Structure 1
């Protein structure tokens, strides 16, 4: 699949997302992408671990051969203090380690609704039909999709889902707020592939939706996906 095209699954076809400040899916370095996120989106960023070649295989810089997210997790326990929204600071950090993953702390510039990829594509198609405004959405190598929403949204998700008639425990829907993080494109996760944009950051989606605005199609998609 072309990395600049919104994905196609058996349940939904999503149209191309046009326009982006920087193309982080094709040819943009991690340093350039990190600086762009800080400078143009005003997102906090911090460098995580990176991949190292060891005897012909790629391993995480953390040294754990069984690392669950090789090259895509915090390198320091005090990572919240390392996160910065300064483009110049981001440039200095990635200049020291240009292959470090790009991690974005949640609960600051945005929260994240984390869902299975199949549910994510179904939700995107449903939201387009409903004419809802979408924020950026990432697609991870472990077949998850991350919907970016306004900060504070994660704390509301449980009650919002209950009001829609769903049991929060019955849905594979993870709300990521303060104290968590997500990896940003073009970070690679071991040999699994790179994080990509399903809906790229554009001028039109600079203002993120509230969780309340998209929770209905997201919860519906997760519920339908869970019944398969």
Structure 2
């Protein structure tokens, strides 16, 4: 039976958004054993929505750490999560990378191409997230940061020439159903289930991801030519 982590917020779920955030944060700790921490949130005034950080040009409104020492606040305790979101129920859900997982971060166009290729090859896949800023994140085992550049070169691509990065130690990702201002919510392209509890190593995915990112980079270069 699949875990009941919801892919995205829908009108059929009779819960307030704050309850939905708390429910997801607790399930991430209890069912996946992921550390979580509360980030910024969206505030409303004069018919506008803005980030609690107060920056008018915030690049990720309502979806980034609220304090510099966020890494020390991340917890895997469901009890602590209930306390934190009990005080700030509208806070975004952020997951530190480099602990139980890293994330391979690519443009969503390349990500969908790679995902289809990986599924055809019947590769092991972990959860995959889709963000409102058109990025796709593939969850893999920790330690990918040190290995990915050499693996990309092995497949004939320059790491600097393709839009593929690793979110590892010292970084974080925003988790569903966190919302980026008016841009929409983070969603699962492949949601967490018992079948993908064990994450793949980056090496199992990197050939398809590098190929897809390289193909996109080549298309962009061709489009810029006179």
TM-score, normalised to structure 2, is 0.91
Which stretch shows the higher mean deviation, 148-157 or 22-31? 22-31
What residue in structure 1 maps to residue 74 of structure 2? Answer: 83
What per-residue deviation string (whole Å, max 9, x for no partner) do you get for residues 63-118 of structure 1?
Answer: 11111100000001000000001111111111111110000000001001000000
Does 2:94 match 1:98? no
- 1:70 corresponds, among 30, 54, 61, to 61
Does 2:180 match 1:201? no
What residue in structure 1 maps to residue 3 of structure 2? Answer: 20
The residue correspondences of 1:168-183 to structure 2 (distance < 5 A) are 168-183=159-174
Normalized per residue, which structure has more helix?
2
Of structures 1 and 2, the larger Rg is shown by 2
Paired residues of 2:8 and 2:177 also in contact (CA < 8 A): yes
Deviation at 1:20, TM superposition (A): 3.4
Aligned mates of 1:217, 1:24 — CA distance in 2: 24
What residue in structure 1 maps to residue 203 of structure 2? Answer: 212
Aligned length: 211
What residue in structure 2 maps to residue 114 of structure 1? Answer: 105
Does 2:210 match 1:227? no
Unpaired stretches in structure 1, ≥5 consecutive residues: 1-17
Aligned mates of 2:136, 2:185 — CA distance in 1: 13
Change (3 A) 1:180 1:141: same
- 1:140 corresponds, among 110, 114, 131, to 131
Paired residues of 1:39 and 1:87 also in contact (CA < 8 A): yes
Give 3-state SS (helix, strand or coil) of 2:94's partner: strand
Aligned mates of 1:109, 1:45 — CA distance in 2: 11
Give 3-state SS (helix, strand or coil) of 1:170's partner: coil
What per-residue deviation string (whole Å, max 9, x for no partner) do you get for residues 103-145 of structure 1?
Answer: 0000001001000000000000000111101100000000000
* Coordinate RMSD, CA, aligned: 1.2
Does 2:42 match 1:59? no
What per-residue deviation string (whole Å, max 9, x for no partner) do you get for residues 25-49 of structure 1?
Answer: 1337000000000110000000000
Deviation at 1:154, TM superposition (A): 2.0
Give 3-state SS (helix, strand or coil) of 2:49's partner: strand
Aligned mates of 2:212, 2:87 — CA distance in 1: 42
